[in-house]
Amino acid sequence: MEEDTACYDYIRAGSTRCMIISRNEVLPQDASIDIVRCKIDNVCGWSSSDKLSQGAIFLVEPSRGRSINSREWKKVVDNFPGGVSFNLYYCGVIILDKKRYKQNYIINF
């Protein structure tokens, strides 16, 4: 997809050490995950990964349509162990931090 290629190029411009993988790929032993871009219906599978670094960022996209359903978003936020989440309506951002209390913000433009 052209959109995925543009995203890959953008991320690689920021970090040459960055690897872009799919959920089914096996990571090298010493690798850690700092940024996850996924659909809202796949985010809970990523949240339990032992490869996630402290402060990992999740960029959550709607599974269908153009916006994130508030019921879906609540389910995702409830399943995360801790951190700060931002519901931006068209997408969501979650910053994983197990040392902090959960905080959820809804951003209206």
- Per-residue pLDDT of 7-22, as tens digits, reads 777 777 777 667 666 6
Q: Can you give the pLDDT at residue 44?
A: 65
User: Around Cβ 82, how many Cβ atoms within 10 Å?
Assistant: 13
Q: Which of 86, 31, 27, 34 is nearest to 60 (CA)?
A: 86
74-100 per-position pLDDT tens digit = 888 888 877 899 998 888 898 888 888
End-to-end CA distance of the chain: 29
| Residues listed for the chain | 109
Tokens read off for 20:
């872009």
Decide: 40 and 63 in contact? Cβ < 8 Å.
yes
What is the identity of the amino acid at 27? L
Among residues of the chain, what percentage have pLDDT more than 90?
6
Whose tokens are 């389910």? That residue is 75
